[in-house]
Structure 1
């Protein structure tokens, strides 16, 4: 029996690229063999493996001393540390940097690649490099899709579809009727579109192509099928690259913490965090957008909201801008300061509630003191001074990531649909209420929060990775001035809270992590 357990242990460690020394394997098998329940053995092995992965390993060979240290950590526990890690608000400039290495076929951290930290004013080559990084993320995902993987025993057959580079197409002297290419749609000349990948640029003819579902804009990376003739790719069909679920991404890359936070490994791998999540079935998050603090009725409705939650405090209130209903010109900063002061006075009446909940404030696209370039920094200190005596008020960036136990939440405040329509190559001919599903498909397929030309949606070149959606989160909050919605796609729940204003009857959304349900809420008159 011990030999079977030892074989199982070695196989589990090898899946993460680790090899146990003989005495380490024997020691661990001796600890697990007396456990009669297989589920118990699996649970303890997972905990010990998590502890080993969190430690600093100088080589892939794991010693007995390292196993003993991991076992001691599991048995003594660290409940206080896990309590602190239950909720983590991760600012955009704190997101981890990972880049895909085609040679090593894995994601590698910027530290391992010894890359210099990005700055707000990076070198010009970073501008083109950011699109290559976007392309690499999508291509590595696409090549694992069943249409592009080899078939037959041990992968000895041929793939159903073959991907061609632009460079290969440009070298052809004859017609290729079944050309399939992955690239970015660009408009280099007025009214003329091209397909660009890291190897070159080729003109494309979209006059008779068939579009799949989703919104297609300039700078989107698309999968194209067509005929290459006389130097032009005549497109028959165009679609977004297939979306990959978070589970499949992690099966490929293991417990890498792409999301961020204080943990070295992905929160999904933590048995303790999963246990804490199950112990809090009533936990919830409140999401609001367009909190117009210059309107007296908004302050009144917020008071009613806080009164309603006094007996069942949520984990966090997430309030997104804009925080003013309109621009006041030269007086805008004064108006915003006065509005925040009124809001702080309101919060002073609810300090017991805020001791049990976090209040996260995220700037909107029209808020002052917030850059027009993504990622947008949090509100400056001069606007925070009114909240100094109020507990748990957090001023965060746009976008923001929230990790609650094992669940990953991404929040972004931007009028995305409006921006995408401005540069759309194709807009689906569907009812307006169906448009959000096409928007969400586009973002998940592009693995990016803003797959738009930089002149439409500017991004700090070196910080483009902060807009990445890979692996996909559990909850995607796209706060938009568009009407509210709640939909599911590829294992992702996508919501728009709607405007917390009179014309939307002060709508907001409540998310319950234990059941992954979203409740539509309003504050009635």
Structure 2
């Protein structure tokens, strides 16, 4: 440990260079607070404190120990401002309905789009019943009958479609999707000429406090973290070792947490895997005291479930009871991170939507972009009907994009990508175990995303 007088001298000099006048009692308090930090860590910490002084408008006066302690509390609170919201606690934000039945869930999906639509020239289906041979544009939810005939519904009625000559604009089109249909209405049938994604009004952007994040704050995201695979555990150790000198704000680990060959022996193998990673965490505990670790399960993790949302894994009390910064979350789940909201889904939704699509991009390089544009237009990140993507109906609002989160993590086996639009960053880390150990790093201050891998 360095001489206390030398630490005091360093602290005083660092703040003098930033034109901050610390009183002697504040210098002593801060020196004690920073005595175990390196010079670079002292400088980074002082920069954050100066930002707080400026935010509180006290940077132009002598800082005594009481003012300093208040700012230290603010900085500590800012570091720990992290909340996991599991699906059981996820409140319905866009409706006052207390009980959601099948039609209510579909109606909410439709109304979330209709109330945000930019076009003012759309016609309700009920207004067509007394008309014939007219050109119209209709917002409707697309369905297919057993006879392979298509029809649409809005909140006023239903209408049969004739789609033989329809031109699809860019997007992914599937049963249960909400689209704008333009064509000629005649004798109870809409002869569709054009189908497009609904164009929605931009969301009102929230004012973010830039002082909440430093440029080095990051969120590290990995998916398919097979804890029964020694090579995966080795790479997790390597990543934690690599980040230990500049610890991220959070690590988000998404399932599956077992390799496919061990899924049938799930419980015992999973226990061993989580015990291994808990031991790794303990080895780096000093470096990651302020870092939040989150585990989000896949459908195949114990106990497996084909219906979403699914509950968090039951291993917190077994191996992490002494680690308050380790969280087990549901799938999907929502994280409140200072002034940003991050939503996570672990599901292979991209492949499912493309496989069940009526029309999807032929060019594989466009799939990620078009998929993101499609789910933003639907204001729903798992928009297939429930018979294709089973869900607990009264929890369908957990998949809503109303309001838009700052970050939507879609942990999918599809290739790694990131996309930004409408103030929302959508990213997919790809598969850590199935690739060359690829993962993503998100920087909240700049909203930038960095693709990384471990070798």
**Scaled by the length of structure 2, what TM-score is found?**
0.80
Matched, 1:403 2:378: no
From 449, 452, 455, the equivalent of 1:521 is 452
Distance in 2 (alpha carbons) for counterparts of 1:190 and 1:366: 34
Q: Please tell me whether the aligned partners of residues 347 and 390 of structure 1 are also in contact (alpha carbons under 8 angstroms).
A: no
Question: After superposition, where does 1:303-382 map in structure 2 within 5 Å?
Answer: 303-328=237-262, 330-381=264-315
Distance in 1 (alpha carbons) for counterparts of 2:76 and 2:111: 36
Shift of 1:167: 2.1
Name the structure 2 match of 1:153: none
Judged with a 3 Å threshold, the aligned counterparts in structure 2 of structure 1 residues 183 and 304 are, in CA distance, closer, same or farther, namely: same
Distance in 2 (alpha carbons) for counterparts of 1:81 and 1:346: 25
Q: Please tell me whether the aligned partners of residues 244 and 490 of structure 1 are also in contact (alpha carbons under 8 angstroms).
A: no
Q: Please tell me whether the aligned partners of residues 246 and 473 of structure 1 are also in contact (alpha carbons under 8 angstroms).
A: no
Shift of 1:82: 5.6
Shift of 1:510: 0.6
Name the structure 1 match of 2:18: none
Aligned residues: 387
Name the structure 2 match of 1:26: none
Q: Please tell me whether the aligned partners of residues 370 and 377 of structure 1 are also in contact (alpha carbons under 8 angstroms).
A: no
Judged with a 3 Å threshold, the aligned counterparts in structure 2 of structure 1 residues 470 and 486 are, in CA distance, closer, same or farther, namely: same
Structure 1 runs, 4 residues or longer, greater than 3 Å off: 76-82, 327-330
Shift of 1:416: 1.0
Question: After superposition, where does 1:19-98 map in structure 2 within 5 Å?
Answer: 79=74, 83=78, 86-98=81-93
Name the structure 1 match of 2:422: 490
Matched, 1:224 2:181: yes
Name the structure 2 match of 1:465: 397
Q: Please tell me whether the aligned partners of residues 202 and 422 of structure 2 are also in contact (alpha carbons under 8 angstroms).
A: yes
Distance in 2 (alpha carbons) for counterparts of 1:508 and 1:80: 29
Shift of 1:92: 2.3
Deviations 1:156-204 (A, max 9, x none): xxxxx2x2222222343x211x111111101122321110122222111
Question: After superposition, where does 1:116-131 map in structure 2 within 5 Å?
Answer: 116=98, 126-131=101-106
Name the structure 2 match of 1:22: none
From 357, 375, 400, the equivalent of 1:443 is 375
Shift of 1:482: 0.7
Distance in 2 (alpha carbons) for counterparts of 1:434 and 1:483: 12
Matched, 1:454 2:413: no
Distance in 2 (alpha carbons) for counterparts of 1:359 and 1:238: 43
Matched, 1:140 2:115: yes
Name the structure 2 match of 1:198: 155
Q: Please tell me whether the aligned partners of residues 80 and 290 of structure 2 are also in contact (alpha carbons under 8 angstroms).
A: no
Distance in 2 (alpha carbons) for counterparts of 1:224 and 1:87: 43
Distance in 2 (alpha carbons) for counterparts of 1:293 and 1:488: 31
Q: Counterpart of 2:116 in 1: which secondary structure?
A: helix
From 155, 164, 187, the equivalent of 2:123 is 164
Deviations 1:131-175 (A, max 9, x none): 111111111101xx2x41xxxxxxxxxxxx2x2222222343x21
Shift of 1:337: 1.8
Q: Counterpart of 1:343 in 2: which secondary structure?
A: helix
Q: Counterpart of 1:354 in 2: which secondary structure?
A: coil
CA RMSD, aligned part only? Answer: 2.3
Shift of 1:85: 7.1
Name the structure 1 match of 2:62: none
Judged with a 3 Å threshold, the aligned counterparts in structure 2 of structure 1 residues 353 and 522 are, in CA distance, closer, same or farther, namely: same
Distance in 2 (alpha carbons) for counterparts of 1:471 and 1:330: 39
Judged with a 3 Å threshold, the aligned counterparts in structure 2 of structure 1 residues 357 and 84 are, in CA distance, closer, same or farther, namely: closer
Name the structure 2 match of 1:175: 133
Distance in 2 (alpha carbons) for counterparts of 1:327 and 1:137: 41
Judged with a 3 Å threshold, the aligned counterparts in structure 2 of structure 1 residues 389 and 405 are, in CA distance, closer, same or farther, namely: closer
From 220, 231, 237, the equivalent of 1:286 is 220
From 124, 134, 144, the equivalent of 1:187 is 144
Name the structure 2 match of 1:505: 436
Matched, 1:277 2:236: no
Shift of 1:217: 1.0
Alignment gaps of 5+ in structure 2: 1-54, 57-69
Name the structure 1 match of 2:358: 425
Distance in 1 (alpha carbons) for counterparts of 2:77 and 2:288: 21
Q: Counterpart of 1:299 in 2: which secondary structure?
A: helix
Q: Counterpart of 1:293 in 2: which secondary structure?
A: coil
Shift of 1:347: 1.8
Q: Counterpart of 1:246 in 2: which secondary structure?
A: coil
